[in-house]
Structure 1
């Protein structure tokens, strides 16, 4: 049973270029296309259920799955949409919320057609700062495969501080083990 304050509020955030909003059924074709992208599939953690998932799964995720995670107190997801209009640019989510410790992990991806515009960094910065300032979290963190230069650049551009490397932490799709770089943003950093 969730206690008061153990659920992320449903909200819309804005940045200079982005509208960060809940997903809708209209986003499903773009979400599905992003999930099929070779770069997305290749960088997704082993066992990540959406890498390569079909369109009905994308529809279900957009219309109820991501919202159910929020209602269960586990996290919150935002669709990244350019304020000037156009296709879905990506996704930023908080997950693994620990309400006693006041922490959550952040995850992001950018759709192939929106890469190179730093949307993920802009969105991740907005979501992390909202979580720390308005929701009352004390720490937002992430792990990125040390070989995933794009994700690491995104974390740094969003203002996250590099903490170190967790060696041989995650299995890879090639049957090896990956070292994971850890980044965080804490309330004191603001």
Structure 2
């Protein structure tokens, strides 16, 4: 799958060094969910962590460098609802790659896979993830109090979603 500046593809063994760098980045670790081991992680097993849908490596089309990850997680194939999860490599932050890749995968899930809802949950104090949700076109729904357990502790989650009607008109 491609967007204007990105290619979304399966992870490859040669991505391991970049993934390892991200998983050891302080900014990533601050908001990383509890349950994913980063020390010596097996790449194929780790990229499928908590995934119940497709997992994409995000690379820049201009040079093929891995800049992120997007996955559909906690997918309920009966109800046709899913949640989107992502991270951005330090060398890709601030360039809009996260919003572009999240928007691309969310629209694909809604339009091609016939999902009825794509949720995005972000720690309320993670300003970058809030900006990604809004830039990708997700609508704010409210705050889930004390719902997240990250490496930094417990916190509140801002809940966002996209549904097919959001594209009407």
Instruction: Normalising by structure 2, report the TM-score.
Output: 0.92
Provide the rounded CA distance (Å) in 1 between the counterparts of 2:118 and 2:39.
28
User: CA RMSD of the aligned region, Å?
Assistant: 1.9
Runs of 4+ in 1 over 3 A off after TM superposition: 58-62, 171-175
8 Å Cα contact 2:8-2:59 kept in structure 1: yes
- Please say if 1:155 is aligned against 2:133: yes
8 Å Cα contact 1:30-1:87 kept in structure 2: no
8 Å Cα contact 1:29-1:58 kept in structure 2: no
What runs of 5+ residues in structure 2 fail to find an aligned partner?
A: none
Q: Cα 1:84–1:60, aligned 2, differ >3 Å: closer, same or farther?
A: same
Aligned length: 167
1:87 deviates by 2.0
**CA shift digits 1:122-165 (9 cap, x unpaired):** 00000000000000100000111111100010010001000000
Higher strand share: 2
Larger Rg: 1
What residue in structure 1 maps to residue 165 of structure 2?
188
What residue in structure 1 maps to residue 35 of structure 2?
48
For 1:22-61, list aligned pairs within 5 A: 22-45=10-33, 47-50=34-37, 52-54=38-40, 57-61=41-45
